[in-house]
Structure 1
Amino acid sequence: MVVARRQMKKTYMSPLPAMSDPEVFSPSATLLTFDPPIPLLRGPVPAGPDDDPSAGPFVLAFRDSMSWKSAFLATRSKIIEQCEAGARAGCSISVSNKCKPPWWKALFGAKSADLAERERCEEREMSSCLASAKDACISFAEQKCIPSFAGARIAAAPETTSLSCGATNYRGSALMASSFAGK
Structure 2
Amino acid sequence: MRSICVFAGSGTGVHPEYMQAASELGTTIAGMGYRLVYGGSRLGLMGSAAEAALSSGGKVTGIMPGGLLHGERVHKELSEMISVDSMHERKAMMQQMGDAFIALPGGLGTLEELFEVLCWSQIGIHNKPLGLYNIRGYYEPLLHMLRHGIQEGFVAESCMSRLFVSTDPAELVQAVSHELPVTSDLRWLSSAYRKDVPE
TM band (smaller chain): under 0.3
**Over alpha carbons, which structure has the higher Rg?**
1
The TM-score normalised by the length of structure 1 is: 0.23
The TM-score normalised by the length of structure 2 is: 0.21
> Relative contact order (C-alpha < 8 Å, sep 6+): which is higher?
1
Higher fraction of helix = 1
Higher fraction of strand = 2
